Amino acid sequence: MDIDLWLRIATEIHLKYLLIGGFNKVYEIGRVFRNEGIDATHNPEFTTAELYITYSDHENLMKFIEKLLGDLAALVAKDKSITFGGQKISFKAPFKKITFIEALERHALITEYRKKSRGDLVTIAMRFGVNLESHESKDKIAEKIFAKVCRPKFIQPTFVTDYPASILPLAKRSPKNPEAVLSFQVVAGGIEIVKAFNELNDPLDQQERLKKEAMVGAEGDIEAQPLDEEFIEALEYGMPLAAGLGIGLDRLVMLFTDTDNIKEVILFPTMKPK
């Protein structure tokens, strides 16, 4: 065929095409691939469940995920509690909530985040032993600090909300704070198991944000979202208001089986060379 072919990093874009085409509720359970290294919670090949619902929002998805995880936990124990890493975790609703910036302030002692410069975040990251790349933005550095310092502190199921817009370029901005997006992660046992947000359906904003992503990618960020002109054109035809979420199924199995390494729940995991 003489064309470049790529492994997909998510099922997201094609599911959004279905929303544009008139489907109101869509989902896919599928294999995705990300070259993000290997550790206890990361494998280059893993399985996700993604779903999208038109005329819904992230707050409705919070209620949905509380019920979903609660019902799943009830299959394990009547009191909706599991044990992971020697700690009891209850999936009874309601889950705790904290914003991304509040998490940084509480657990990494980063006050007045919006007033901090990139240099300030570099200094803080170095203090915590966080490895950085020269192309990484202030928000990306903050995300790395959150992953290393804050996320392990959330043992009970917690919604971490209002992520910076630059971290989630496909998410809709908050009308109260355009620098943040209407989003959440669910963290339990110190592991991220769900990510969700209101979907960006403004083609102009999407194009501008993907252009910025492409610039970051050109500077060396392999995780940057590519500029997808076909997707932007599809948005111009009109995508209804929608919200979507992704569940890391391998991590969910880890959590509910009290397994400390993701490779133990994946058939034929990628192994580091000897």
> With left for phi above 0 and alpha for psi between -120 and 50, is residue 129 left, alpha or beta?
left
- What are the residue ranges spanned by the domains of the chain? 12-94+186-265
The domain over range 12-94+186-265 is classified in CATH as 3.40.50.300: no
- Residue 3: per-residue pLDDT: 92
pLDDT score for 177: 95
Query: Pairing mode, if any, of strands 96-99 and 158-161?
Result: parallel
Establish whether the linkage from the previous residue to 178 is cis, with ω within 30° of 0.
no
pLDDT at 224: 82
Per-residue pLDDT of the chain (274 residues; tens, 9 = 90+): 799 988 999 999 999 999 999 999 999 999 999 988 899 999 999 999 999 999 999 999 999 999 999 999 999 899 999 999 999 999 999 999 999 999 999 999 999 999 999 999 999 999 999 999 998 999 999 999 999 999 999 999 999 999 999 999 999 999 999 999 999 999 999 999 999 999 999 999 999 999 999 998 888 887 788 889 999 999 999 999 999 999 999 999 999 999 999 999 999 999 877 7
Q: Token match 């290393």: residue?
A: 148
Structure tokens at 166: 């630059």
Distance CA 101, CA 108 (A): 10
- What are the contacts of 178-185 at 24+ separation with CB within 8 A? 179/114, 180/100, 182/57, 182/58, 183/58, 184/58, 184/61, 184/62, 184/159, 184/160, 185/159, 185/160
